[in-house]
A and B are shown apart, each in its own frame.
Chain A
Amino acid sequence: DTAVSQTPKYLVTQMGNDKSIKCEQNLGHDTMYWYKQDSKKFLKIMFSYNNKELIINETVPNRFSPKSPDKAHLNLHINSLELGDSAVYFCASSPGKYTEAFFGQGTRLTVV
């Protein structure tokens, strides 16, 4: 009964391809996030959705597009992948605006 689950866990792809990462949470939370962890393990928020509505959109290239079909799902689609997109992407959810976030296991994206 994984609370926040992401698929796939590993993703290796060539430059220029388009890929998607899926995320689902069964915690009943209203808010979901995408975070990026770079090679130095620094974590930075990319997007946040609340009840399917985009509320945070950090300075992220337009090639990244989140989609939330319902409040339990938040997917991340990436177009025209670049080498610099290689990182670990974490999905997270939280019950409220200022509360802790619960993280998925991460998706390690490697662009070759």
Chain B
Amino acid sequence: AQSVTQLGSHVSVSEGALVLLRCNYSSSVPPYLFWYVQYPNQGLQLLLKYTTGATLVKGINGFEAEFKKSETSFHLTKPSAHMSDAAEYFCAVSDRGTGKLIFGQGTTLQVKP
């Protein structure tokens, strides 16, 4: 069965610092991968996705992620954190059998001034 693991349930960075949120997946076939952001009391918003093609994908709000098949990873990065980036971030994989999204446990990003 496919699964997603996000390393670090809580990440704290200073404003202007690099943001790195880690995601590893397990899948027997090439996966479709997604990053979502959830602001307090709101729904999930898609940041970016990888389906096929270029392994470095760019998303909204300056985020990007790189699909590394050899490492089964899809880490999310942003060069310079803003206070507004403070939120919950979820990595997800699309189950190739059913199509359902399987989510990681989430990472809370705190941005300190």
Contact = CB atoms under 8 A, between A and B. Distances in A.
B94 A103 contact: no
A98 B32 contact: yes
A100 B49 contact: yes
B61 interface: no
Interface residues of B, number: 24
B99 A31 contact: yes
A64 interface: no
Nearest to A4: B43
B105 A101 contact: no
Interface stretch (A14-22, A39-47, A73-81): A39-47
Contact of A97 (B49, B90, B99): B99
A90 B101 CA distance: 13
Nearest to B88: A41
Interface residues on A, range: 20 to 34
Given A55-B98, A56-B100, A103 B49 contact: no
Contact of B34 (A4, A33, A41, A100): A100
B18 interface: no
Contacts of B69: none
B46 interface: yes
Given A41-B88, A42-B105, A48 B44 contact: no
25 contacts: A4-B43, A40-B105, A41-B38, A41-B105, A41-B106, A42-B103, A44-B103, A45-B101, A48-B99, A48-B100, A56-B100, A90-B43, A97-B99, A98-B32, A98-B99, A100-B34, A100-B46, A100-B101, A101-B101, A102-B46, A103-B43, A104-B43, A105-B42, A105-B43, A106-B43
